[in-house]
Amino acid sequence: MTATPEATEATPTIVLVGHGMVGQRFLEALAERGMTATHRVVVLCEEPRPAYDRVALTSYFSGKTPEDLSMTDMEFIDTHGIELYVGDPAVAVDREARKVTARSGEVFEYDTLVLATGSYPFVPPVPNKDAAGCFVYRTIEDLLAIEEYAKSRTTGAVVGGGLLGLEAAGALKGLGLTSHIVEFAPRLMPVQVDDGGGAALLRTIEDMGLTVHTGVGTQEIIIDGDGAVTGMKLSDGSELATDMVVFSAGVRPRDQLARDCGLTVGERGGITVDEQCRTVADPRVFAIGECALAADGRVYGLVAPGYEQAETAAATIASDEASFLGADLSTKLKLLGVDVASFGDAHGTAEDCLDVVYSDSRAGLYKKLVIGRDGTLLGGILVGDAEAYGTLKAFTGSVPPVSPESLVLPAGAGAPAQLGPSALPDDAIICSCNNVTKGTIRGAVTEHSCTTVPEVKKCTKAGTTCGSCVKVLGQLITAELEASGVEVDKGLCGCFGQTREELYEIVLALRINTYQDLLDRYGRDGARGGDGCEICKPAIGSIIASLAPTIGASGYVLDAEQAALQDSNDHFLANIQKNGSYSVVPRIPGGEVTPEGLIVIGEIARDFGLYTKITGGQRIDMFGARVEQLPLIWARLVDAGFESGHAYGKSLRTVKSCVGQTWCRYGVQDSVRMAIDLELRYRGLRSPHKLKSAVSGCQRECAEAQSKDFGVIATANGWNLYVGGNGGATPRHADLLGQDLSDAELIRLIDRFLMFYIRTADRLERTSVWLERIPGGLDHVRDVVVEDSLGICEELETLMAAHVANYRDEWSETINDPEKLARFVSFINAPDTPDPVVGFVPERDQIKPDLPLLTIGHRPLEGSAQR
Amino acid sequence: MTLAPETTDLKVQVRLDEDWMPVCDLTRLLPGRGVAALLPDGGQVALFRDRAGRLYAIDNRDPFGGAAVLSRGLTGTHQGRPFVASPLLKQRFDLETGQCLDDESVRITTYEVRAA
Ligand code: SRM
Ligand SMILES: Cc1cc2nc3c(=O)[nH]c(=O)nc-3n(C[C@H](O)[C@H](O)[C@H](O)COP(=O)(O)OP(=O)(O)OC[C@H]3O[C@@H](n4cnc5c(N)ncnc54)[C@H](O)[C@@H]3O)c2cc1C
Ligand code: SF4
Ligand code: FES
């Protein structure tokens, strides 16, 4: 074999047909084995885009873009010299001549052919199934089409109440449609859950406003004169009016190409392969993923077994030993916000097995464990609360160290067993998507010096697919680090060994209201009695300010010791500019301003010669004020009714708005009023990082709420709340936290969310980063702030109420305090002399800083910019 | 240099060649924060007072950004050394020696300072 894959005749060629999730994993497995260096690798990809995360398809509707979903790193493709033909499917295979013909007409000779063509959605042969308004749910293109069609419609129905059907129904609901689910079986998710689980699921799903029709089939799609869907006829004789239909009645292996070239396929479809994933008919052809009928006689519709098959095929082609004997069908899903998990022998098919069941259909909870005669945990079903899934699944096949009942009882009922992942054996599978054991994860920490979840993800692939194992992953890493004696210094800085969150708890619990007191009592040994540093001072200053009314500190950040803690900008209640001058940003709640207000701002800017600019935050920034001009400018602003805009603080910035219902023909709520209400409620709230918000009057989202820390979008019935959005350098689309909330519900939920963030985030950690970092992520936050799983919501609300009640405008307080005003001078020994270094030159009819720039090099900032 | 902070009528003085130039009342210096003073030659000095009452004086100009703003930075201790972090790009300067802690090639002028 030659080392360069390109040229020589002798280079063996592997042709992969189908670039889905499994195909991509196969390529990675080839690369890992060095096979891409010794082989020419050709990939025929039918879809208009390379492999993407089909499992996470539905997250498109909660803001993920097709790019976010991509699983293909083009650099990977390039580095490994893989020839990827996007949008060019294979149309024929000639096994005799070992040639594949693509639709483009191009012909590829192969030494090894790998089929990874996946499956296609099954559409029952009902009349008018192809009418306008009928869809399937499999590809990004399907979703784009559904989204487009849904724009002008009000009702949607999904045929099929399985896993995908529920996801599709959730998506339709998210698009604002009244949604129905029609399921032929007597319960939802018939494959994964039993009757009890189905009942719990049904209850919760109906509570969300979806209508479920079980035990009925679809007989016909009803269409109007133009051939568009208007409803469906059901097997019980009834009719259901609907504008669109999404078929989600199962999938079938895409084995046509294989059939056409004479490969053996199963009775019910699927390309028959052996334990090495080689087709039984032709040793040069392999089939992997959903198109394959595995040696155990099953076609797997989940990604994890597909990945294992990909690894097996790659190993076999590289002449390594590997086999795929079958796989576990465990799944954990979050469907419409409901946890549903099933693992092992979920339906209790083993002989003599016993069930342990806990069920509370009022709360939508159902948990069943299947236990063997000898106490072995065989499998189970969890609906409503799948918290224990990771541990339970890993214990499947062994006798758990505690009684099974204690594993399913809810917290509070008896002593809930806290089975940490450290109790697991090393061969327990932690990540079933990628088949990663506890031993491998421990090895990543001990041998490859990984210390964080992202590092371990990269090193082991664990947690990179469905994400359901990430929580356990985090616990394992910490446990392993601690066990191996690695001192994980989570301290805030050189002065404090505690995290920001721990310090917050100390300040709140002990009502410590000065920095010095905290440093002297809780600082690191060498730091007590000292001066602290530039990291902890503002961070503690912020904690004290957030909790001021509750812990008995002054709510005014320039009072006494607090003044010395503030970042330089907070100290002058303005943002420093490159030449030492300052900017002035009055608050313009919701971006709404009167002509009089505009005139005042204009007059002030003119009188003081300031540069003015409309900011990206829907307000006006005036630049070029000298420090001694700040009080004079603010005296006039305060007089005209303006307040500090906190452009300098780690606190609420702006709540942007769109004009909404009042003016806009599409608006469904008064978004301006809500934006003003929110801005006034949270103004001045000190937090770990700046907070931004926006309110849009309808789904068109003109205010860009989904890029905000908390964003609100009006719906016909109220408001949807999105959290954790971010613009800036690492943009993140916000996640949906609550739907169709009333005004009061919305504000209560935001109160809780913000206070929980302030309590648990690190310094300078935006909500987006925080949501990604904290164990359990969004699910955990939802549990805490929606379900009140920690029982702290009342406290969070009280803390916020105290903030709201105690808010005072910093600038009006400052201009009325002569002692504070004395600080606003350029020189303490010459208060009337302006700083001569601050100079300006004209540009485009305004001013700009004039500064002989002395560049000596830059120290990269660790996100400590002021705004 | 160390004085009881309660002493009210003391003046902060900066040494210029042979003379001590009076700047302001000691009470005007907030522990942990700085002030700027104008020198007769048009130069600027940044004055600080730490928690223990010790006084420091350095050039007010940030050599990286060019603006005269060091007096507005946050102070602290790093490995036992008092420092101020520039409010512009956060470089830290040793208050006693003027040495930049983040770039060893940079050092700024320091002044003798006392309260009397
Ligand atoms: C004035 C303004 C630009 C403008 O002329 O429009 C601005 C100016 C600055 N931004 Fe910004 N940002 C401004 C809107 C934004 C926006 C847009 C928005 O808010 O809708 C964003 C993206 C949205 C977001 O934050 O998610 C934005 C993302 C940033 C970031 C990146 C934050 C991140 O999480 O990645 C920084 C750096 C930081 O905070 O660490 C930053 C930092 C800054 C600083 C503080 C940089 C600095 O240290 O000097 C600038 C301060 C200028 C000053 O003194 O006033 N600015 N900045 C905008 C003021 C809005 C307002 O009225 O308050
Ligand atoms: C909405 C949704 C949610 C899901 N959720 C989960 C989940 O939570 N957990 C889970 O384990 N699984 C889930 N699945 C299933 C999972 O996505 C599949 O098991 C997985 O994608 C199978 O990978 P594959 O590569 O075999 O098939 P696919 O990902 O379907 O890829 C096959 C590719 O081959 C292409 N192709 C077909 N014929 C040709 C040809 N002739 N030439 C070239 N290309 C061709 C197809 O266009 C397709 O791009 C979900 C699926 C969907 C649709
Ligand atoms: S978001 Fe909707 S209501 Fe608001 S301006 Fe845009 S289209 Fe109008
Ligand atoms: S179990 Fe799905 S990513 Fe680990």
What would the DSSP string read from start to end of A795-818? Answer: HHHHHHHHHHHH---HHHHHHT-H
Least distant ligand from the CA of A437: 4
Contact with chain A for residue B35, Cβ under 8 A: yes
Nearest to A567 by CA among A590, A536, A595: A536
Looking at residue A428, its pLDDT comes to: 80
Q: Is A660 in the pocket of ligand 3 (CB under 6 A)?
A: yes
Kindly report which listed range (A279-293, A329-343, A676-690, B48-62) carries the lowest average pLDDT score.
A329-343
A534/B85 CB distance under 8 A: yes
pTM (two decimals):
0.55
Identify the band that residue A146 occupies on the pLDDT scale cut at 50, 70 and 90: very high
Residue A454, number of CB atoms within 10 A of its CB: 12
pLDDT mean across residues, chain A: 89
How many angstroms separate the CA of residue A762 from the nearest CA in chain B? Answer: 20
Identify the band that residue A467 occupies on the pLDDT scale cut at 50, 70 and 90: confident
Which letter does DSSP use for residue A49 in this model?
S
Looking at residue A851, its pLDDT comes to: 67
Residue A470 reports pLDDT greater than 90: no
Q: Is A468 in the pocket of ligand 4 (CB under 6 A)?
A: yes
- Say how many Å lie between the CA of residue A867 and the centre of ligand 1: 6
Kindly report which listed range (A53-67, A190-204, A551-565, A614-628) carries the lowest average pLDDT score.
A190-204
State the closest ligand 1 atom to the C-alpha of A694, by its place in the atom list counted from 1. 20
- The helix or strand, by DSSP H or E, that contains position B82, with its residue range, turns out to be strand B81-85
Mean pLDDT of A663-672: 95
Kindly report which listed range (A55-69, A197-211, A391-405, A749-763) carries the lowest average pLDDT score.
A391-405
Looking at residue A386, its pLDDT comes to: 80
- The helix or strand, by DSSP H or E, that contains position A474, with its residue range, turns out to be helix A470-483
Identify the band that residue A419 occupies on the pLDDT scale cut at 50, 70 and 90: low
Closest residue CA from atom 14 of ligand 1: A616
- SS3 state at A24: helix
How many angstroms separate the CA of residue A859 from the nearest CA in chain B? Answer: 7
The amino acid sitting at A453 is V
Looking at residue A420, its pLDDT comes to: 63
- Say how many Å lie between the CA of residue A116 and the centre of ligand 2: 9
Q: In angstroms, rounded to a whole number, what is the distance separating the alpha carbons of residues A3 and B1?
A: 74
Bridge partners, A157 (sequence order)? A180, A245
State the closest ligand 2 atom to the C-alpha of A118, by its place in the atom list counted from 1. 27
Residue A359, number of CB atoms within 10 A of its CB: 17
Q: In angstroms, rounded to a whole number, what is the distance separating the alpha carbons of residues A88 and A617?
A: 45
Kindly report which listed range (A61-75, A513-527, A748-762) carries the lowest average pLDDT score.
A61-75
Contact with chain A for residue B90, Cβ under 8 A: yes
Q: Is A701 in the pocket of ligand 3 (CB under 6 A)?
A: yes
- Say how many Å lie between the CA of residue A632 and the centre of ligand 1: 25
Contact with chain A for residue B3, Cβ under 8 A: no
Identify the band that residue A856 occupies on the pLDDT scale cut at 50, 70 and 90: very low
* Percent of residues, chain B, with pLDDT higher than 70: 93
Looking at residue A331, its pLDDT comes to: 75
Closest residue of chain A to B35, computed from CA coordinates: A828
Closest CB to A564: pick one of B33, B63, B87: B33
The amino acid sitting at A402 is V
Identify the band that residue B8 occupies on the pLDDT scale cut at 50, 70 and 90: low
How many angstroms separate the CA of residue A533 from the nearest CA in chain B? Answer: 4
Phi, psi of A84 (to 5 degrees): -110, 120
- Say how many Å lie between the CA of residue A692 and the centre of ligand 1: 10
Residue A535 reports pLDDT greater than 80: yes
Looking at residue A346, its pLDDT comes to: 81
Nearest to A857 by CA among B60, B87, B43, B100: B100
* Percent of residues, chain A, with pLDDT higher than 90: 60
Mean pLDDT of A425-438: 83
Q: Is A22 in the pocket of ligand 2 (CB under 6 A)?
A: yes
Structural contact between residues A161 and A198, judged by C-beta atoms closer than 8 angstroms:
no
Q: Which residues of A touch B85 (CB under 8 A)?
A: 534
Identify the band that residue A852 occupies on the pLDDT scale cut at 50, 70 and 90: low
The amino acid sitting at A37 is A
Among B72, B83, B96, B106, which would you mutate to test the A interface (most chain A Cβ atoms within 10 Å of its Cβ)?
Answer: B72
A837/B90 CB distance under 8 A: no
B89/A571 CB distance under 8 A: no
Closest CB to A827: pick one of B37, B65, B82: B37
Which letter does DSSP use for residue A629 in this model?
G
A565/B66 CB distance under 8 A: no
A565/B51 CB distance under 8 A: no
Q: A11: which residues sit within 8 A by CB, 6+ positions away?
A: A1, A2, A4, A5, A38, A39, A40
State both tokens at A777: 């992520």
- Say how many Å lie between the CA of residue A694 and the centre of ligand 1: 15
Residue A421 reports pLDDT greater than 80: no
Residue A860 reports pLDDT greater than 50: no
Residue A423 reports pLDDT greater than 60: yes
Q: What are the CA-CA distances from residue A126 to residues A222, A226, A247, A250 (Å)?
A: 10, 19, 11, 15
Q: In angstroms, rounded to a whole number, what is the distance separating the alpha carbons of residues A437 and A425?
A: 9
pLDDT mean across residues, chain B: 89
Nearest to A80 by CA among A21, A133, A38, A127: A38
Looking at residue A271, its pLDDT comes to: 97
Least distant ligand from the CA of A669: 3
Residue A7 reports pLDDT greater than 50: no
Structural contact between residues A239 and A126, judged by C-beta atoms closer than 8 angstroms:
no
B66/A853 CB distance under 8 A: yes
Contact with chain A for residue B116, Cβ under 8 A: no
Mean pLDDT of A169-185: 90
Structural contact between residues A108 and A102, judged by C-beta atoms closer than 8 angstroms:
yes
Closest residue of chain A to B53, computed from CA coordinates: A531
Contact with chain A for residue B39, Cβ under 8 A: no
- Say how many Å lie between the CA of residue A701 and the centre of ligand 1: 21
Q: In angstroms, rounded to a whole number, what is the distance separating the alpha carbons of residues B72 and A184?
A: 72
Tell which one of A54, A303, A434, A438 to mutate to probe ligand 4, the residue whose CB is within 8 A of the most ligand atoms: A434
State both tokens at A140: 């990004």
Mean pLDDT of A668-691: 96
Contact with chain A for residue B107, Cβ under 8 A: no
Structural contact between residues A862 and A535, judged by C-beta atoms closer than 8 angstroms:
no
Identify the band that residue A4 occupies on the pLDDT scale cut at 50, 70 and 90: very low
Looking at residue A593, its pLDDT comes to: 96
Mean pLDDT of A214-223: 92
Q: Is A726 in the pocket of ligand 1 (CB under 6 A)?
A: yes
ipTM: 0.70
Looking at residue A692, its pLDDT comes to: 98
Nearest to A642 by CA among A651, A655, A633, A650: A633
State the closest ligand 4 atom to the C-alpha of A304, by its place in the atom list counted from 1. 2
Closest residue of chain B to A579, computed from CA coordinates: B67
Mean pLDDT of A706-715: 97
Q: Which residues of A touch B102 (CB under 8 A)?
A: 859
Looking at residue A191, its pLDDT comes to: 77
Q: Is A523 in the pocket of ligand 3 (CB under 6 A)?
A: no
Q: Which residues of B touch A839 (CB under 8 A)?
A: none
Residue A459, number of CB atoms within 10 A of its CB: 18
Instruction: List, for residues A99-139, the tens digit of each pLDDT value.
Output: 999 999 999 999 999 999 999 999 999 999 999 999 999 99
Q: In angstroms, rounded to a whole number, what is the distance separating the alpha carbons of residues A184 and A159?
A: 9
- Say how many Å lie between the CA of residue A365 and the centre of ligand 4: 23
Among B69, B86, B88, B101, which would you mutate to test the A interface (most chain A Cβ atoms within 10 Å of its Cβ)?
Answer: B69
Identify the band that residue A9 occupies on the pLDDT scale cut at 50, 70 and 90: low
Mean pLDDT of A1-15: 64
- Say how many Å lie between the CA of residue A52 and the centre of ligand 4: 16
Structural contact between residues A493 and A538, judged by C-beta atoms closer than 8 angstroms:
no
Q: In angstroms, rounded to a whole number, what is the distance separating the alpha carbons of residues A255 and A93?
A: 12
Contact with chain A for residue B25, Cβ under 8 A: no
Looking at residue A418, its pLDDT comes to: 47
Residue A792 reports pLDDT greater than 50: yes
Looking at residue A859, its pLDDT comes to: 37
- Say how many Å lie between the CA of residue A298 and the centre of ligand 2: 16
Mean pLDDT of A830-858: 77
How many angstroms separate the CA of residue B55 from the nearest CA in chain A? Answer: 13
| CA atoms in the 13 A half-sphere facing the CB of A304 | 22
Least distant ligand from the CA of A91: 2
Closest residue CA from atom 11 of ligand 1: A867
Looking at residue B4, its pLDDT comes to: 47
Q: What is the dihedral of CA A118, A124, A126, A128, to 10 degrees?
A: -20
Structural contact between residues A41 and A82, judged by C-beta atoms closer than 8 angstroms:
yes
Structural contact between residues A585 and A621, judged by C-beta atoms closer than 8 angstroms:
yes
Strand segments, DSSP code E, in A515-672 are: 575-576, 582-584, 611-614, 620-625, 652-657
Closest residue of chain A to B106, computed from CA coordinates: A856
Identify the band that residue A765 occupies on the pLDDT scale cut at 50, 70 and 90: very high
Mean pLDDT of B64-72: 92
Residue A469 reports pLDDT greater than 90: no
User: Where are the alpha helices (H) located in A39-194, listed in sequence order?
Assistant: 66-69, 74-79, 140-150, 163-174
Mean pLDDT of B92-116: 92
Looking at residue A384, its pLDDT comes to: 82
Looking at residue B69, its pLDDT comes to: 95
State both tokens at A456: 């371990």
Residue A339 reports pLDDT greater than 90: no
